[in-house]
């Protein structure tokens, strides 16, 4: 498990755009109480001594979110994992569970 940053990387008309994001904290209890799209799987768990949420969308690689950090759980493409961190935190932010979520 290693720490990652949330990044939204996408391609439009053959050009790659990269937006880095940051956040202050995640209210884990709040995030677990909310409703998410059907393909999103959230599980409250403890990994390597950290309390957090394992988030996985469909067959994409999971990420582990604590109150203050995001971690890669598996060894996949860093681009894919960072995108998953971005999508997970975006969904939680839309539901009011992330403080100071912003693009750098």
Tell me: the pLDDT tens digits for 27-74?
999 999 999 998 999 999 999 999 999 999 999 999 999 999 999 998
Q: Distance from CA of residue 64 to its chain's centroid?
A: 7
38/92 Cα distance (integer angstroms): 15
Q: What is the pLDDT of residues 73-101, one digit of tens each?
A: 988 999 999 999 999 999 999 999 999 99
Buried b (16+ CB within 10 A) or exposed e, 23-54: beebebeebeeeebeeeeebeeeeeeeeebbb
The residues, any chain, with a CB within 8 Å of residue 52's CB and separated by 6 or more, are: 28, 44, 45, 46, 64, 65, 66, 67
């Amino acid at each position: 498990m290693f720490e990652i940053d949330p990044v939204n990387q996408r391609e439009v008309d053959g050009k790659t755009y990269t937006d880095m994001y940051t956040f202050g904290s995640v209210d884990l209890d709040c995030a677990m109480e909310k409703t998410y799209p059907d393909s999103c799987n959230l599980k409250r768990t403890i990994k390597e001594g950290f309390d957090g949420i394992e988030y996985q969308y469909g067959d994409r690689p999971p990420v582990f979110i604590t109150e203050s950090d995001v971690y890669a759980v598996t060894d996949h493409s860093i681009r894919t994992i960072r995108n998953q961190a971005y999508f997970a935190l975006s969904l939680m932010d839309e539901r009011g569970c992330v403080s100071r979520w912003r693009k750098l």
